[in-house]
Amino acid sequence: MIFRQLFDRESCTYTYLLGCPDSREAILVDPVIAKVADYCCLLDELELRLVIAADTHVHADHITALGELRDLTGCVTVMGERAHAACVSRAVGDGDPIRAGSVALSVIYTPGHTDDSYCFVMPDRVFTGDTLLIRGTGRTDFQNGDPVAAYHSLFDRVLALPDETLVYPGHDYRGNTVSTIGEERRHNPRLQVASAADYAALMGSLKLPSPALMDVAVPANRACGKPVSVTRKL
């Protein structure tokens, strides 16, 4: 498999390029609109054809590139069915596959950070979006987030993967690039809890500012990154 981990410095977002060396078909996971020219350049250099652009959830801190990439390349756009994004070519649910040539991802529904959060799993790695971060987890205080649901998504679904599974998160703010399930189980401070109630109390104690782009990004991302006009009530 051809694999690249790409980074948007402004939003600290990781985008992942996965390519099939035989068919030359490729998938982009969590692409950022500001980096579209870079993605297209890299695809050309690697002689890959983008066939799928997928988001792990409706992002609140950056604008997705799904719509722009669809218009430029004709790729299929993918989001989880709980995102209720009518703009996408395909809405996926728990257990559904996402394929490009020999590259195959399995979708798992992992609500908690938002109610439309999904992870994409391969035999040796998992793309966790904001569900599981390196030494952290996604906040649960907006977009129908739910700390109890997050606890069960983490402990019942994600941490049930083999310890050696590579963890590729949707963001990192400290320069980390990759971890493993076993490493996060042992060393992630937010996972050192005894129950869902303990996790909910921990997440409830966080005092985090809202993402600066939230009011713009969420409606735009439900439209695959296209601008959405908002009428303000006087």
Question: CA 190, 194, 200, 201 torsion: positive or negative?
Answer: negative
Chain segment 69-97, per-residue pLDDT in tens: 999 999 999 999 999 999 999 999 999 99
CA of residue 48 relative to chain centroid, distance: 22
Q: What value, to the nearest 5°, has the Cα angle with vertex 223 and ends 128 and 73? A: 80
DSSP letter assigned to residue 153: I
Please provide the distance, in angstroms rounded to a whole number, between the alpha carbons at the two ends of the chain: 54
Q: Does the structure show a pLDDT above 70 at 234?
A: no
Query: pTM for this one?
Result: 0.94
User: For the residues 132-141, what does the mean pLDDT come to?
Assistant: 97
Domain extents for the chain? 2-208
Quick one: pLDDT band at residue 213, thresholds 50, 70, 90? Answer: confident
Percent of the chain past pLDDT 90, that is, above it, reads 90
Right CATH for 2-208 from 3.60.15.10, 3.40.50.2000, 3.90.1010.10, 3.30.429.10: 3.60.15.10
Chain segment 2-34, per-residue pLDDT in tens: 999 999 999 999 999 999 999 999 999 999 999
Average pLDDT, the chain: 94
Chain segment 51-61, per-residue pLDDT in tens: 999 999 999 98
User: For the residues 147-152, what does the mean pLDDT come to?
Assistant: 98
